């Protein structure tokens, strides 16, 4: 809950949504895409070689993937949170509460969503518009799989393969750098100011693991009941004493290094004592697209500075 309003913060809602998607089994490398719409449509693979030319993305991550593989000129509209890259055609379309009539007003031939509230995919299918749900990644492999799927669907398979290969290479290089300097340092990744976090079973946790870090949240979700996103407590974190703290709630919840350092009792936490509180950009930690490389780079830099 948001301490100021008594309501769940947007970050909390977002991460609980991810947990729901994960629990439903939608987000795995083997089955990360569900499709519905006009029967017989096979974009990117028909005999005429035609590709979708009026794509709508209601998922910031899908938007980033589309532009990364060079399909940006096929995108006619994106949701209000798809502000990266800057050339994306941002509209007031909502990815949280998609509206079929609003979507159809852009005359799309292909729509990407990160989840379906229950009637959007069916509504678009009735209008003979293909709708594809690319849910939150569970693990890093899902990111690679979704990029390749988008490449196949937009006629950009070759570019998608290249992007994935480059990402894997950069991730391996960064992991190799971190391995030389990180030896068992512990960390806490804060999703919001009510202490929701992510364990090593999530794609976020995998990134930190590549940097050689140990997650203090893992012990709080040993049975998997929180689906990788447990809510911790101030006492738990003081007792765990992480060596580094990463804040993904700077924008949503006004949490900064100074604010965290001033929390009652936290002065004994090594991350606070040694000034190892890292303020993460507002969007990179919550998106599972090509910029997971940037997140790993930020983590590796923090590890190097901690050494």
Per-residue model confidence as pLDDT tens for the chain (307 residues): 344 433 444 444 454 444 434 333 333 434 344 444 433 344 454 334 578 999 999 999 999 999 999 999 999 999 999 999 999 999 999 998 999 999 999 999 999 999 898 889 999 999 999 999 999 899 999 999 999 999 999 999 999 999 999 999 999 999 998 877 766 899 999 999 999 999 999 999 999 999 999 999 999 999 999 989 999 999 999 999 999 999 999 988 999 999 999 999 999 999 999 999 999 998 898 899 999 999 999 999 999 988 7
Do 123 and 202 fall into the same domain? no
Q: How many CB atoms lie within 10 A of CB 30?
A: 8
Predicted pLDDT at 9: 45
Give the residue from 43, 294, 47, 34 showing the smallest Cα distance to 174. Answer: 294
Whether 162 and 173 map to the same domain: the answer is no
> Are both 132 and 249 inside the same structural domain?
no
The residue from 105, 136, 167 where one domain ends is 167
- Look up the pTM and report it: 0.84
pLDDT value of position 86: 96
Question: What CA–CA distance (Å, rounded) separates 157 from 152?
Answer: 5
Q: Are residues 251 and 191 in the same domain?
A: yes
d(CA 46, CA 42): 6
Q: Which of 167, 191, 211 is the last residue of a domain?
A: 167
Question: How much of the chain is helix, strand and coil, in % rounded to 5?
Answer: 40, 10, 45
Q: Specify the DSSP element, H or E, that contains 4.
A: none
Do 176 and 157 share a structural domain? Answer: no
Question: How far are the Cα atoms of 197, 207, 216, 251 from residue 228, in angstroms, in the given order?
Answer: 8, 14, 12, 23
pLDDT of residue 187: 97
Residue that is written with structure tokens 């998609």 in the block: 98
Return the SS3 of 26.
Answer: coil
Query: Is residue 5 a part of any domain in this protein?
Result: no
- Among 167, 196, 230, the domain-final residue is 167
Which domain, by its residues, includes 227? 168-306
Domain-located, residue 33: yes
The reply to whether 184 and 208 lie within a common domain is: yes
Instruction: Assess if residue 235 is contained within a domain.
Output: yes
d(CA 259, CA 109): 47
Q: Reading across the β-sheet that carries 214-215, which strands appear in turn?
A: 214-215, 186-190, 244-247, 277-279
Q: Are 45 and 91 part of one and the same domain? A: yes
2 domain residue, yes or no: no
Do 54 and 126 lie in one domain? The reply is yes
CATH number at 58 reads 3.40.50.1980
* Cα distance between residue 226 and residue 20, in whole Å: 10
- The number of beta carbons lying within 10 Å of the beta carbon of residue 94 is 14
86 assigned to some structural domain: yes
The pLDDT value recorded for residue 54 is 97
Same domain, 77 and 195: no
State whether 262 and 130 are in the same domain.
no
**Overall number of domains in the chain:** 2
Q: Are 251 and 245 in contact (CB under 8 A)?
A: no
């Amino acid at each position: 809950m948001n301490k100021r309003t008594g309501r769940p913060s947007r970050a909390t809602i977002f991460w609980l949504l991810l947990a729901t998607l994960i629990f439903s089994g939608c987000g795995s490398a083997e089955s990360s895409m569900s499709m519905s719409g006009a029967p017989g449509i096979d974009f990117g693979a028909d005999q005429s070689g035609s590709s979708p030319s009026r794509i709508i993305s209601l998922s910031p991550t899908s938007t980033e993937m589309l532009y990364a593989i060079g399909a940006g000129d096929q995108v006619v509209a994106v949701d209000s949170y798809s502000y990266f890259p800057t050339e994306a055609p941002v509209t007031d379309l909502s990815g949280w509460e998609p509206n079929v009539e609003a979507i159809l007003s852009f005359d799309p031939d292909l729509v990407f969503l990160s989840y379906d509230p229950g009637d959007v995919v069916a509504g678009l299918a009735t209008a003979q518009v293909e709708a594809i749900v690319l849910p939150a990644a569970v693990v890093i492999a899902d990111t690679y799989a979704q990029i390749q799927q988008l490449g196949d669907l937009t006629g950009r398979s070759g570019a998608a393969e290249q992007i994935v290969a480059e990402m894997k290479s950069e991730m391996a290089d960064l992991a190799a750098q971190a391995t030389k300097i990180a030896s068992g340092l512990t960390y806490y990744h804060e999703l919001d100011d009510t202490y929701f976090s992510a364990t090593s079973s999530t794609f976020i946790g995998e990134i930190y693991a590549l940097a050689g870090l140990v997650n203090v949240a893992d012990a709080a979700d040993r049975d998997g009941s929180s689906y990788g996103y447990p809510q911790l407590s101030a006492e738990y974190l003081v007792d765990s004493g992480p060596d580094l703290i990463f804040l993904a709630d700077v924008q949503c919840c006004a949490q900064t290094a100074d604010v965290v350092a001033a929390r009652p009792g936290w002065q004994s936490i090594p991350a606070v004592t040694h000034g190892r509180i890292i303020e993460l950009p507002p969007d990179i930690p919550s998106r599972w697209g090509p910029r997971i490389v940037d997140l790993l780079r930020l983590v590796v830099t923090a590890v190097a500075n901690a050494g």
